[in-house]
Amino acid sequence: MAQYKLVEKHTIEHHNEYYEVRVTQSDDQSKSLFFTTNEENLEEVAAAIVAEHLPGSKHWTVIPHRKDS
């Protein structure tokens, strides 16, 4: 089971490294969820997040975000 923690967009500045899973459906209503994880397989973690929190979403991508020092 994938280990992750969803974070709110307004709190992401408190994390050194976080990821975004963005639904890339064909409509104009793209949705994003932000998360932190220690897992190496980001695609697996993102798939678990989409399945649990965005069911029915078929097209999505993972975007890594890192704070610059």
Q: Give 18-50 pLDDT, tens digit per residue.
A: 899 999 876 666 789 999 998 889 999 999 999
Q: Are 36 and 4 in contact (CB under 8 A)?
A: yes
Q: Is the dihedral of CA 33, 40, 5, 47 positive or negative?
A: positive
The larger pLDDT score, comparing residue 15 to residue 18, is at 18
Is the pTM higher than 0.85? The answer reads: no
Distance of alpha carbon 45 from alpha carbon 50, whole angstroms = 9
Domain of 40, in residue numbers:
5-66
Domain count, the chain: 1
Q: Give 48-63 pLDDT, tens digit per residue.
A: 999 999 988 889 999 9
The larger pLDDT score, comparing residue 12 to residue 32, is at 32
Confidence (pLDDT) at 62: 94
